[in-house]
Amino acid sequence: MDATQAGRRVRAVVFDLDGVLLDSEGAWLQVRRDYARSLGCVWTDADHAASMGSNLEGGSRIMVERLRLQRSPEQVAQDLLERMRQFYVERVAACAGAVDAVRRMAASFRLGLATGSPAALAEPALRRLGLLDHFAACVYGDQVMHGKPSPEIYLKTVAALGVEPTQAVGVEDSANGLRALHAAGLGAVARVDPAFPPTPDALALADVQLQHLDALDAAVIQRAAAARASQTRAGRV
């Protein structure tokens, strides 16, 4: 089977949430900065980039380690959860083009969600935006042991969808997310946000790069899968 044939076998598309479907990365940055400031610390852009894509526990562990906090990652996670809850339930907006992109993909593929955000934040936001029912499987950050860049969440999502990793393509924005996709064996579409770009080494793992979800269609998904299949055959994974 050549790369083109492999691309035609795509059965599922798996979306990340924050920075792909929800315009929430800026809020996470501000909340972490405010939280760090309340503890007499400074949370930098580099700190935030290191935590993007990870689940709440993993991101909180990064925060404890980088800021040398005298509190547990579990306590930090709970503090951040409470600070973000109202934003997700009442105010978070969809990224430009996200709602239409999900609807287009649902017309051709089974959809999965693989997000580092806990269900308590993600589900109310998705429900309010009318997106939740489009997903055949959702795996949240509090349902995995290891957050991105571990491939665990993507492997768990494709298993719930009943497809092989080679039959799925993921859409990600963060360096950790792209690394997780690559490690799991899915094709990778990078939605590149100029405000929060992934590192060049992680972006190089993407099979297709987009700046706007308006450009996401079935042809892009097939192209990503074919590129991933070609890399696999060439032994470059």
pTM of the predicted structure, to 2 decimals:
0.89
Report how far residue 204's alpha carbon sits from residue 211's, in angstroms, rounded to the nearest whole number. Answer: 15
* pLDDT reading at 22 higher than 70: yes
* pLDDT reading at 40 higher than 70: yes
pLDDT, residue 89, reads 84
What mean pLDDT do residues 192-209 have? 94
Considering the chain, what percentage of its residues have pLDDT values greater than 90? 82
Q: Which residue has the higher pLDDT, 6 or 30?
A: 30
* 82 phi, psi to nearest 5 deg: -65, -35
Pick the catalytic residue: 16, 18, 142, 207?
16
Q: What's the pLDDT tens digit per position in 104-138?
A: 999 999 999 999 999 999 999 999 999 999 999 99
User: Distances from the Cα of 194 to the Cαs of 23, 45, 174, 199, 212, in angstroms?
Assistant: 13, 13, 11, 11, 11
- Is residue 83 within 8 Å of 33, Cβ to Cβ? no
Confidence of residue 79 (pLDDT cuts 50, 70, 90): very high
pLDDT, residue 92, reads 87
* Domain boundaries, given as residue ranges, for the chain: 3-23+94-234, 25-91
pLDDT, residue 205, reads 96
Question: Mean pLDDT, the chain, as a whole number?
Answer: 92
pLDDT, residue 231, reads 82
H-helix or E-strand spanning residue 209? strand 208-210
| Residue 217 bears catalytic tag | no
What contacts 51, CB < 8 A, 6 or more positions away?
32, 58, 59, 62, 63
Class of domain 3-23+94-234: alpha beta
Looking at domain 25-91, its CATH architecture is Orthogonal Bundle (1.10)
What mean pLDDT do residues 167-194 have? 96
Report how far residue 43's alpha carbon sits from residue 21's, in angstroms, rounded to the nearest whole number. Answer: 25
Confidence of residue 4 (pLDDT cuts 50, 70, 90): very low
